Amino acid sequence: MGVATVTEMKQSVSVSGKKMFRTSLNNRHANEWPPTDVSSDLTVEVGTSSFALHKFPLVSRSGKIRRLVAEAKDAKLARLTLHATPGGAPAFELAAKFCYGVHVDITVANVAMLRCAARYLQMTDDFSDKNLELRAEAFLRDAVLPSIASSVAVLRTCEALLPAAEDVNLVARLIAAIANNVCKEQLASGLLSRLDHTGAQLKPAALDSPGEGDWWGKSVAGLGLDLFQRLLSAVKSKGLRQETVTRILINYAHNSLYGLMPCRDADKCGGVTDTDTDTDAVKKQRAVVETIVGLLPAQSKKSPVPMAFLSGLLRTAMALSASNICKADLEKRIGMQLEQAILEDILIATGSGEASTLYDTDVVARIFSVFLNLDEDKEEDGGGFDYDSPRSPKQSCIVKASKLLDSYLAEIALDSNLVPAKFISLAEILPDHARLVTDGIYRAVDIFLKVHPNIKEAERYRMCKAIDCQRLTPDACSHAAQNERLPVQMAVQVLYFEQIRLRSAIQSGGGGGHDGALFFGGGAVSSASTVQGGGGNNMRSGSGVGSGAMSPRDNYASVRRENRELKLEVSRMRMRLTDLEKDHVSMKRELVRVNPANRLLRSFARSFGRLNTLFRMRPAAEPGLQQLGAKATADAKVLFQRRRRHSIS
């Protein structure tokens, strides 16, 4: 049959040969494509594929092919190249079938590339009625945009079609449709939950179980970073719940940062080596981390973002050398939610190329600073709490933070490369009222001194100043009094406050007067009432005295027994003091031999003399001394104040 131009085709439509050509195309079976009964007169190359076709069916529906054929210098054009066709050879093949009249199934999987190919090939209604562009638009309008699942699936196929998908405004329409439908579903879910709460039985199957309303969040985890950011920004602007946004971000982070998230155990987590810092994969992961941090819900103490996720993000950001703004944002978020943290959340390893220490203490210091500054800001706004009240919400948060910090200090104290200045700065970062009991900080200091035996005496003394000896438990006091790693001043303070505690216990146990009456009466009656149980039968008729009250003889025996126990404890303290004095004498001889004018030695000697006098005082342990008057109590207070003034602290 020969090759004909477009003009020749139009002029020869009435010719019998051309009629037979058109009839053969229209009457053949759909599976016979391309037709074999007519020789091809045009070869179209798309990518690495070639299609032997005919000009007339293509130019009848494609404005682009018609223009290329008409503008060709060669009147007998036999080859076209359409390498820029969106979707490549598969998209062109479907479009060519449509031009030949072959039935083409438009589905969720191919509608995006057909829509883009129709725009590129100019297959509009200007050249043919019900052309490919109109068919694709109808499918998008009726089957894709109303459905969240279909819209997400088509959006994922658009990534390979950029920027053609942007040119036809397909991406923007899909994102807007998803955002609108998601918020409608959230509104319907909230309404149905209220109806169920009031007893209504209406509940669709799609929302039967909690959390199914955001099922689509898992399907967007495979989107590229740009489309994901645009989609999540759109749904956030429409009012999507922060809990749902958080779950979507967690799914996306785990999918995009596989091997780096979550990362609580540094030995089991994937990391980034020095040779990887400039690769494209690392740059992509760094961009993912920074984008996710930018999409997190607003910073708040009640933020729905889990602490483990924030901690893992911070570790990943440090490993990937993310921007300082990104890391500072994560540090602030962790500081605001510090009361939810556990030890593993703040054990953050140092980045590559930094100091040889195991953990980054500077990051933890900044996190605790955020926590403390947050409390100060609330106090300035009038929302402060009473620090002295153990039930105060603010005090309870600070106590939790102090326990967390003490555990962290005990962990990093095992690092032999940690300098004392870092440890001391962290130990002193909390206020004095934060630790109700100082056993935790004492344990951390003891570990540090054991691992670092060669630190300077000044650093050793400053480190121990963070320990309040008055808040040590008896067991910790007993351990500290015999701990050779502590400075002598620390041991002296421990013994001094332990003696004060014993003296107070003796006075409270052997007090007379009003206190004695309270002890003998109220305490005994309360004890008896607790044992026997309540009820009016426990009280004598016409008397206000409990029927189960202890007799004076039993009270006397009980007091004597307690006094004997206190005497025994005082004897033990004397023995410990004797051992300490022996050590002191040996130190004194050594120091005198080196420097006879040592002022510190003379100060220690005076302090030990006063303590020796204190221990040799006879405790008020005899029953006959129970009648302690107000004058004795006042003298005891004056004595305590005087000794407090001369203490070594």
Q: What is the pLDDT of residue 604?
A: 56
At residue 453, the 3 state secondary structure works out as coil
Here the contacts of 532-537 (C-beta below 8 Å, separation 24 or greater) are none
Q: What is the pLDDT of residues 218-253, one digit of tens each?
A: 888 889 999 999 999 999 998 888 898 999 999 999
The Cα-based distances of 185 to 143, 216, 241, 246 in angstroms read 18, 11, 12, 18
The rounded distance, in Å, linking the Cα atoms of 116 and 158 is 9
The identity of residue 173, as a single letter, is R
pTM of this structure: 0.67
Q: What is the pLDDT of residue 519?
A: 31
Cis peptide before 90 (omega within 30 of 0): no
The domain limits of the chain are 40-187, 240-259+281-373, 391-505
Q: Exposure string (b/e) for 409-446, b if CB count within 10 Å is 16 or more? A: bbbbbebeebebebbbebbebbeeebbebbbbbbbbbb
Q: What tokens appear for 98 in the block? A: 């449509």
Contact between residue 269 and residue 260 where contact means Cβ atoms under 8 Å apart = yes
The rounded distance, in Å, linking the Cα atoms of 547 and 406 is 50
The Cα-based distances of 8 to 16, 18, 562 in angstroms read 14, 10, 124
Three-state SS for 165-184 is HHHCCHHHHHHHHHHHHHHH
Q: What is the pLDDT of residues 469-500, one digit of tens each?
A: 888 888 888 888 888 888 888 878 888 887 78
Count other Cβ atoms within 10 Å, centred on residue 595: 10
Query: 595: which residues sit within 8 A by CB, 6+ positions away?
Result: none
Q: What tokens appear for 324 in the block? A: 């300082």
Q: What is the CATH number of domain 40-187?
A: 3.30.710.10
Q: What is the pLDDT of residue 302?
A: 84
Q: Which of 454, 490, 352, 445 is closest to 360 using CA atoms?
A: 352
Q: What tokens appear for 144 in the block? A: 């894709």
Edge-first strand order for the sheet with 79-81 is: 49-53, 42-46, 79-81
Q: What tokens appear for 81 in the block? A: 């190249």
The rounded distance, in Å, linking the Cα atoms of 161 and 537 is 90
Angle between helices 474-481 and 439-451 (to 10 degrees): 30
Count other Cβ atoms within 10 Å, centred on residue 164: 22
DSSP 444: H
Residues of the chain with pLDDT under 70: 1-37, 75, 189-215, 259-278, 351-355, 375-393, 509-560, 588, 591-649
Q: Which of 408, 473, 410, 489 is closest to 436 using CA atoms?
A: 473
